[in-house]
Amino acid sequence: MLKVNNLRLGFTSARKTLLAVDGISFEVAAGETFALLGESGCGKSATAQGIMRLLPANGVISAGSSIQFASEELLTLSEADMRTVRGKRMAMIFQEPGTSLNPVLTVGRQIGEVLERHLDLQGSVATTRMVELLRQVGIADPERRLGEYPFQLSGGMKQRVMIAIALAGEPDLLIADEPTTALDVTVQAQILDLLAKIQLDRGMGMLLITHDLGVVARMAHRIGVMYAGELVEVASREEFFTRPQHPYTQALFAALPEVSRRGLALTTIPGQVPSLAAMPGGCRFADRCTQAMPICRDVSPAWRNAGVGHVVRCHWNGAANEGKSIQRFALSEQCSEAAAFLAVDALQVHFPIRRGLLQRTVGHVRAVDGVSLSISAGRTLALVGESGCGKTTVGKALLQLIKPTAGSVKLGGSELVGMKPKRLRAARRHMQMVFQDPFASLNPRLRVGDIIAEGMASLGLENDSQAQRSAVAALLKQVGLPDEATDRYPHEFSGGQRQRIAIARALAVQPELLICDEPTSALDVSVQAQILNLLKALQEELGVAYLFITHNFAVVEYLAHDVAVMYLGRIVERGRAEEVLRAPRHPYTQALLSAVPTPSLDAQRAVIKLPGETPSPANPPQGCHFHPRCPQASAVCRERYPENSSISATHTVNCHLFS
C-alpha cells in the first residue's frame, strides 16, 4: 500500500539544508501496522510529514526520494491532487492536538469538513455520523461536545477528537504520530481496540509512530527502529521482542522500568541524539554505544541479515563486551506505619461554579472530596488515576498553592491549612514541587543559575552570591548537568535536561518532601531512566520522601513503596505497592491495571473495558462514584458511598464488595 524508497528530507537554514531523514526505505502493506520507534529528534515525525507532504516552508525533499501510495508516486502530484488524497485515502493523527485543532471552529465543524469534502455527507446524516465517531473514540455526551470548541476539552479529549477527524474519511492508510501519549491507560486501550477493529474490518494500513514499547507489542506487525535520521533495525514483532540486535534497540529495552529492576539502577544511554548540523561520519550511534569499535567512527555500517525478515545496520556482530558494573540502590523498606512526615486528613478542594451577570454560585466542582494519605521520610507514595480525578489538585493543595476548602494537611506535625502567609512561606522550604511541564514552569528569561538560586534567596537560605554560585554548581553536579549550564537559558536544553533543572531548583532549598507531578510523562524511555535513577539516588542519599503523581504503572512498579488509587476526587484503594499492583481489590484498580500495555509478547492481558468516561466532578453520581462504570455494581452501590475496609494491616479499599 505504501512504499517509501530512499527518502531524504531536510530543512534549509542559512542557505544550507540539514538532513533530518537520510535515505530511509520501508513498506506498509494493507491491513499491516508498521511501527517507527526512536528517541525524540530521530526524524520519525518528519518522516510522517514528508509522506503527507505537510512539511513547513523550509522543508525540502531531495531528488531521488520516492513515496508510492497504491502504486501512485505522491512526490509528483500537484497540491490540488494531493488534497484529494489527504483525509480520504490517507489520514494522519498529529502528535499535539492542542495545536492541530482549529481553536475558532467547533468540534462538529471540524469533523464535518472531512465528511462534506470526502464523503459528501451533510445535514442530519453528517451529524449522526459525527455523533457515532465521537462515541467510538470514547467521548461521553457526544451531541453536546459537537457544539464545543477545543479550549473547552481536556488534553485527552482533544486527542480523541483528532482521532475521530482522522477516521472520518475512512482512510486506506492511517499515519498515527504518538496517538495515545496524552491518554490514560483505560482510554488508550479503548482507542487501540478501535484502531485494531477498523484495521481488521477495512484492511487499513497503519504507520504507527511511538516511543511506547507496550503499544508496539500490542499493535505492530513489523517494527523499524530509527536513530538520527536513519533506520538501524527492521524486524517482525516476534523477532524484535525476542531477539533485538542493534545496541540502540537493546539499550531502549534495558531502560524500561519494571519491578524486577527495583533495586537496580536503570540502564541509560549517555549523551544525546546528534544535532542535524553535526552528524558523525561513521555510525551515528557510535559516541553513545557501549559496543563501539574503531571502525564504527569511520565507516557507516551496511545492512545485514539477522534472521527471517530481520535486518540490522551495525558493525557489531553480537559478541558481548566486558559488562559494566550495575549500581544498586538500598531499598528503603522501613514500615509504612512509621511516623508520617506528611499527614493529610479529609482534604477537600471545591471550586465554585458561577453564572449570570452577578456571578452567583450555582454549584461546586468537587475536584478533591475527602482525601486522606500519609508519607514517611524516605518513602515514595504513588498517586494514580485517570485524568480529571484530582491528582494534580491534591499536589497543589498540599503546598497551599490552591486553598483547601476543608481538611487537614500536617507537615512534620505543623498544620498548614490556615497558616499565616509568613510562616507558610518558611514551611514551603520543607516541601517542593516538580511540575509536569518543565518548559512551562521554568522562567524563559532567567539563566539556569538564577532559576536555581532564586529559591535560596527568596527563603533566606543563602544570601552570599559566592556561596550561591557554589551551591548551584553542587546542585547541577548532583543532577548530572555540566557547570556551563549555569549561564544558559531553558530553551537551550532537551526535555530531560529541563526536567533535571526543575529537580535541581526544587532541591535548592533542601526539602524533605518532593511532589512530582508526571515528571516523566513526556520523556523518551532513555531520558526517563536517567530521571528515575536520579530520583532514586537522591532518596538514598538525602532521605527525601516523594509524592509521585503519575499514570505510568511501569514507573510505579519500579519506584513506589506505597500506592493510592484515586477516582473522582476520592481515594478508592491504597496499600503497599506489591499489594495494590499484584492483588488489586477495587474494580477500578483492576480495570486500570488490565489496560496497561506490556512491552513483551507473552504478557498481554485481557482488558477490562469500562463504559463511558469519568463523570463530571461538578455532578458526581449518587452512592459509589464508580458504580455507573463498574462491572460488579449492585443496588447498594447506587445508594451509599462505601466505607473504608481493611484487606490487611496496610491494604484498604472503599468498595461494598468487601464491607
pLDDT in tens, 141-167: 889 899 999 988 876 788 889 999 999
221 shares its domain with 353: no
Residue 183 has a CB neighbour count (10 Å cut-off) of: 23
Closest by CA position to 518, among listed 539, 541, 495, 540: 495
353 shares its domain with 261: no
302 shares its domain with 359: no
Q: How confident is the model at residue 648 (pLDDT cuts 50, 70, 90)?
A: very high
DSSP E strand boundaries for 31-71: 33-37, 59-61, 66-69
410 shares its domain with 272: no
Is residue 139 assigned to a domain? no
Is residue 326 assigned to a domain? no
435 shares its domain with 475: yes
Cβ-based burial of 303 (10 A; exposed 0-12, middle 13-18, buried ≥19): middle
Say which CATH number the domain at 178 has: 3.40.50.300
Is residue 335 assigned to a domain? no
Q: How confident is the model at residue 513 (pLDDT cuts 50, 70, 90)?
A: very high
What value does the mean pLDDT take over residues 93-98? 80
State the DSSP H helix or E strand holding residue 73, giving kind and residue range, or none if neither.
Answer: strand 72-73
284 shares its domain with 362: no
Domain boundary at 313, 332, 360, which?
Answer: 313
Is residue 220 assigned to a domain? yes
pLDDT in tens, 376-398: 999 999 999 987 788 999 999 99
Closest by CA position to 346, among listed 410, 392, 401: 410
- Residue 656, pLDDT > 70, answer yes
Domain boundary at 313, 328, 358, which?
Answer: 313
What value does the mean pLDDT take over residues 553-570? 93
Residue 354 has a CB neighbour count (10 Å cut-off) of: 11
303 shares its domain with 190: yes
Domain boundary at 313, 328, 350, which?
Answer: 313
Is residue 100 assigned to a domain? no
- Residue 171, pLDDT > 80, answer yes
309 shares its domain with 416: no
pLDDT in tens, 2-23: 999 999 999 998 788 889 999 9
Is residue 133 assigned to a domain? no
Single-letter amino acid code for the residue at 398: L
301 shares its domain with 352: no
Range of the domain at 83: 2-89+171-313
For the chain, the domain total comes to 2
Contacts of 152 (CB under 8 A, 6+ apart): none
303 shares its domain with 378: no
Alpha-carbon distance 569 to 350, whole Å? 10
Is residue 23 assigned to a domain? yes
69 shares its domain with 190: yes
Instruction: Find the DSSP H helices in 404-447.
Output: 421-427, 438-441
What the block records as the C-alpha cell of 224 is 523499524
Is residue 138 assigned to a domain? no
What value does the mean pLDDT take over residues 202-224? 92
395 shares its domain with 541: yes
Closest by CA position to 453, among listed 395, 501, 500: 501
